[in-house]
Amino acid sequence: MNERDRFPFPEEVKIPPELDGWEEMYPPHYLFSKEREEWEKRHFWYRDKIHGPDPIYPLDLVFHEAWQAALSQYTTRTFTIPPAQGIALGF
């Protein structure tokens, strides 16, 4: 495949100097990392412009983490059925 036929990998994107340190605002499981680089390159990544057209601001991440915790607790504590294991998103 020609290099121009694909989008750049996250480590190939040039970050402007004025944005240095932006990674410190986000939890580690939301970021691409050197430890998972090989695994991340094997997956198909896309941008969901319908449901998430704008970047997620750091303090707004609490909503995305809260529904996962609440739904996991609801399925394992409110309706305690044997196969209920919570919600796993693969983080």
Give residue-wise pLDDT tens across range 21-78.
999 999 888 899 999 999 999 988 888 889 888 888 988 888 888 887 787 777 766 6
The number of domains in the chain is: 1
The pLDDT value given to residue 14: 92
Does 85 reside within a domain? Answer: no
The greatest distance separating any two alpha carbons of the chain, rounded to the nearest whole angstrom, comes to 53
What's the domain range around 38?
3-78
Does 28 reside within a domain? Answer: yes
**Dist CA 65 CA 56 (whole Å):** 12
**What DSSP element (H or E) covers 62?**
helix 61-73
Does 89 reside within a domain? Answer: no
The pLDDT value given to residue 86: 56
Does 91 reside within a domain? Answer: no
